[in-house]
Structure 1
Amino acid sequence: MPQIALPDQLRLRLLEASDAKQVTGSYTRNRTHLEQWEPARPEEFFTEQWQAANLAASASARQSGLAYPFGLFAQDELIGRFNITSVVHGAFQSANLGYWIDKEHCGQGLASQAVAALLSMARNDLGLHRMEASTLAHNYGSQRVLEKNGFTQIGMAPNYLKINGRWQDHNLYQAILHD
């Protein structure tokens, strides 16, 4: 799967184990920004060794067609993560989408552009019929990204995920990629 070029010198590409240093730096730089939106992370999560092991595991999942970890790059700087996970083929043809953008790049439409490109890739290259995503009930920015890309809310799940140390409600969304 080739990298995906976006406007303004941006590109999405699959992450490799060799990206561990950049991934570590990006998570470390955004640690405070992301803690409100993500599970509580152990200290070792913010090490290059942990990220390298995680990226190696992701490569194995990618080879099996179960997950696709992407990085959003501006020039050569990693400014976001986009993950297509839980890919199911057969009658379901569905996957989950998760993402975040560097705190310095929020509100610029970059997540919307990247999600649009990934939905196209999921439809055309992976043959998926449906993409699912969830947001914290109060994450209006992420909800706008999804809605701009044709996602519709299909429900609300109470106490859905343990985010920042607490079980929190999430809005559930889906986009149908093929009719």
Structure 2
Amino acid sequence: MTALAGQPPALDRRRTGVRIRVVRMADADALAALVRENREYLRPWEPERDESYFTLDGQRDNLHDLIEAYAMEEMWPGVILVDGEIAGRITLNNILRGPLQSCFVGYWVARAHAGHGVATEALRQALDAAFGALRLHRVEAFTRVDNHASQRVLLKNGFTAVGTARRHIHLDGRWHDERLFECLAPWDDGVSPNPPA
């Protein structure tokens, strides 16, 4: 069965034991340990971080900011859980209302869980939240052009490549081109501004 354009295809093998939820202040210890443990693994894909980011206090500050932005409905900041343990982060960023009803998604999974379908399932659940409870019409994502693993995660979830933004992001000491992907809500009919009641 072929998915309609812009709609996520059904995943034949959903990764069991994976779920996402909004971040909590109580996540600071686990996140501090996880970002320290995965610092070099994530370095090519993440913005440059101050040393404090990798500390417990740094994670507390980060979580405080994320929770505040969530309260203002500017983002949906989540953690990825595997069998109840934090294994990464997923965030619906820059939520725009009005005529756009869109956001950007960003995610990372710890090295120990990479390549096992965790990111794919977490993104599927984030899309459920975006198109369901948040009632968004569009989710976009950028990946470095050489980040083929992340692009596979997006494609498995029904994203379509739109184009390439030249020298779009400064990571790992230089500017990189990024590919832009988009996914439209399953309820999109090209006319309705909101999902059916």
Structure 2 counterpart of 1:164 = 172
Cα contact 1:137–1:171 (8 A) shared by 2: yes
Higher helix share: 1
Higher strand share: 1
What does 1:5-44 align with in structure 2 at a 5 Å threshold?
7-44=15-52
Q: Is the alpha carbon distance of 1:7 and 1:107 closer, same or farther for their aligned partners in structure 2, counting shifts above 3 Å?
A: closer
Residue 153 of structure 1 aligns to a residue whose secondary structure is: strand
The aligned amino acid for 1:22 is A
Structure 1 position 80, deviation (Å): 1.1
CA distance, structure 1, for counterparts of residue 142 and residue 152 of structure 2: 12
Which residue of the other structure, out of 112, 123, 129, is the alignment partner of 2:120?
Answer: 112
Q: Give the gaps of 5 or more residues in structure 2.
A: 1-13, 189-197
Structure 1 position 149, deviation (Å): 0.6
Decide which moves more: 55-64 or 7-16: 7-16
CA distance, structure 2, for counterparts of residue 11 and residue 127 of structure 1: 20
Cα contact 1:132–1:174 (8 A) shared by 2: yes
Structure 2 counterpart of 1:62 = 70
- What's the C-alpha RMSD, in Å, of the aligned pairs? 1.2
Structure 2 counterpart of 1:85 = 93
Q: Which has the higher contact order (CA 8 A, sep 6+)?
A: 2
Q: Give the gaps of 5 or more residues in structure 1.
A: 1-5
Residue 95 of structure 2 corresponds to residue 98 of structure 1 = no
* Structure 1 stretches of at least 4 aligned residues deviating more than 6 Å after TM superposition: none
CA distance, structure 2, for counterparts of residue 146 and residue 75 of structure 1: 23
- The two structures have a TM-score, normalised by structure 2, of 0.85
- The two structures have a TM-score, normalised by structure 1, of 0.93
Structure 2 counterpart of 1:3 = none
Cα shift readout 1:139-168 (whole Å, capped 9, x = no counterpart): 000000001111111110111011112111
CA distance, structure 1, for counterparts of residue 124 and residue 84 of structure 2: 21
Structure 1 position 52, deviation (Å): 0.5
